Structure 1
Amino acid sequence: MTAHTVTVTRRFSVSPERVFDAFLDPAIAGRFMFATPTGEMVRIDIEPRVGGAYSFVDRREGEDVEHVGQILELDRPRRLVFQFAVPKYDPAITVVALDIVAEGSGSRLTLTHEGVLDEYREQTGRGWTTILEAAAASLE
């Protein structure tokens, strides 16, 4: 199977610091990370340090779906890199990088997800686009 890199970019009207911090604050991240419109976020654990683990559990139609990984790199407010896995559906562990730069009075985030299998490529791009849109709505 071929692995791909999926890249999504989103502009935010808030500072790079606010965008960066939102991904590590369970109260904020729980509003947009891996949440589905019909799901319910039932657990969020984030250890905001290099080597720290994270876990988001979204209940979808009575079924719990856990998204897990480990934080690999923290460079506030410029870069956050973490492992990404959804063990219920696939044993693969991939890597996601968030690169954030100041842009005018706001910021621009470029998300790069490496190691995405061909069969998940399109849905991964759509999923991250939805997550970043929800993040922007939570922060603005």
Structure 2
Amino acid sequence: MTAPVEIRVEKTFRHPPERVFDAFVDPARVGQWLFHTPEGVMERTDYDPVPGGGFHIVERRDGTPAHHWGRFIAVDRPRRVVFDFWVEEAPTEKTRVTVDFLPRDGGCEVVLTHDLAPAWAAWAERTTAGWTMILDNLHRMTEAAP
């Protein structure tokens, strides 16, 4: 069996892990950053970030809904969130995403690792760009919050 392709994206935040983690798991704010694109319109943000809970996020892009699903495996405040993730194009090909919140000089480093299924290896560059955009969105949101 072919091993997953590991995608790794890192982002530095000036806020401590607790604040960034809390923003990451806040259902009221998830539509501001997760799978949110500049041109898209968020239509649905069902988000229950507890072990066994899940999410279904839908953003309309160029008139077409983009569906994203997940099931939370671990939620360990303020250190780590782990979830299985899948999209409408491959509902039976769940992939694992791990997000670590590491203390760094009064702030934190967010390290997101996505074990992309081998069948999606051709999408590695696009997936990296997507997660980079998502962490940039999370960064902007935490910077703007009081």
- Indicate the TM-score class for this superposition, using the shorter chain for normalisation: over 0.9
Write the mapping of 1:1-140 to structure 2, written as runs, cut at 5 A. Answer: 3-87=4-88, 89-91=89-91, 92-116=93-117, 117-140=120-143
CA deviation digits over 1:7-64, x for unaligned, max 9?
Answer: 0110011111111111221222211100111101111011121000111110111111
Q: In structure 1, what is the Cα distance between the partners aligned to 2:122 and 2:39? A: 24
CA distance in structure 1 between the aligned counterparts of 2:41 and 2:28, rounded to whole angstroms: 14
d(CA) in 1 for partners of 2:48, 2:102:
24
SS of equivalent residue, structure 2 residue 29: helix
Identical-residue share of aligned pairs (%) = 40
Q: Which of structure 1's runs of 4+ aligned residues deviate more than 6 A? A: none
Aligned residues: 139
Contact 1:10 1:132 in 2 (8 A): yes
Structure 1 distance, partners of 2:62, 2:100, is 33
TM-superposed deviation, 1:2: 6.3
Q: Offset of 1:113 from its aligned partner?
A: 0.1
Segments of 5+ residues of structure 1 without an aligned counterpart are none
User: For residues 69-125 of structure 1, what are the alpha-carbon distances to aligned partners after superposition, in whole Å with 9 as ceiling and x for unaligned?
Assistant: 1000011000000011111x2232101000111111211010000134211100000
- SS of the residue corresponding to residue 42 of structure 2 reads strand
Equivalent residue of 2:32, what SS? coil
State TM-score, norm by structure 1: 0.93
